[in-house]
Amino acid sequence: MKNARTPQKRDKSLIPLSREHHFGLLFCWKLRQGLKNGTELQVMRDYVRYFWDTILKEHCEEEEWVLHRLLPQDNTARIQIEEEHRLVHEIVDQICKGKRLSKELFQVLEQDLLEHIRWEERELFPYLQATVHSDQLALTGELLAHKHPVRIDNFTPEFWTQTAKK
């Protein structure tokens, strides 16, 4: 039986997307820390907007582009990723455009995104590696490399490192 903590062997064509999942997991951790530290919800909203605009939106678009190349339209994994991306986008929109912010809304975003990333890493990417021909994966990886800029999360203030003043 494979150890649950053993890192997955990732096809090099999927590594850029997998690396960005690390940013996504850090984003989730930062939201948890911000809530724990009592950070003002408006500051956290600014961070959600920043992260969506600079990393997450394009990441989701690239993943969907990859799946459109590799899987048929009626494939359940492709349908699931599109639906989950749509739900994450709706939660982000609620946070960014909503007049009433709540800790619960940030918790829902954090939990849903965390579960989504884990599903992609543990199920979707291994599924792609097992079912898609290696030549198709390699070509997709080359095309992705041309359109995949390095993304950086350098939001300030670093609310996740400090406790809010009361």
- What contacts 155, CB < 8 A, 6 or more positions away? 46, 47, 50, 51
pLDDT of residue 5: 57
Distance CA 84, CA 97 (A): 20
pLDDT of residue 1: 44
pLDDT of residue 16: 86
Distance CA 139, CA 59 (A): 18
List the pLDDT tens digit at each of the 166 positions of the chain.
Answer: 445 556 668 888 898 888 889 999 999 999 999 999 999 999 999 999 999 999 999 999 999 999 999 999 999 999 999 999 999 999 999 999 988 899 999 999 999 999 999 999 999 999 999 999 999 999 988 888 877 677 888 999 999 998 766 5
Q: What is the pTM of this model?
A: 0.89
pLDDT of residue 79: 96
pLDDT of residue 145: 81
Query: Over the chain, what HEC string results?
Result: CCCCCCCCCCCHHHHHHHHHHHHHHHHHHHHHHHHHHCCCHHHHHHHHHHHHHHHHHHHHHHHHHHHHHHCCCCCHHHHHHHHHHHHHHHHHHHHHHCCCCCHHHHHHHHHHHHHHHHHHHHHHHHHHHHHCCHHHHHHHHHHHHHHCCCCCCCCCCCHHHCCCCC
